[in-house]
Amino acid sequence: MEAHTLSEGFHCDRCGLCCRKVGKFPFMKEFDRGDGACKHLKDDNTCAIYENRPTVCNVDRLYEERFKDDMTRDEWYRLQYEGCRELKEENGNGNGRERF
């Protein structure tokens, strides 16, 4: 995945994998609807609580609240893009869309 510059902000391609794989992360257990996906994930791959989503689901807010003293925003974005890439590779199709 191509990294974007700080002025462009974090670019999410909305593949939905982070929302479909919350069960993979122990700190996201409260959001797991029982099948590993977020209980707020709608059928159209959007978030039912997007405007009020928790900090952990908001790349920029999480950076500001927890990581801005530890790294630059560009470093934070690079970590997020790497996590996205890994989720996509684990799903075997490279574009993030799972095969159902």
Structure tokens at 97: 């869309």
Q: What is the pLDDT of residue 2?
A: 47
Mean pLDDT of 57-69: 95
Mean pLDDT of 80-84: 93
Rounded-to-integer distance, Cα 56 and Cα 59, Å: 7
Mean pLDDT of 51-69: 95
- Does residue 31 or residue 1 have the better pLDDT? 31
Q: What is the pLDDT of residues 22-48, one digit of tens each?
A: 998 899 999 999 999 999 999 888 999
Q: What is the pLDDT of residue 71?
A: 97
Rounded-to-integer distance, Cα 26 and Cα 64, Å: 22
Mean pLDDT of the chain: 86
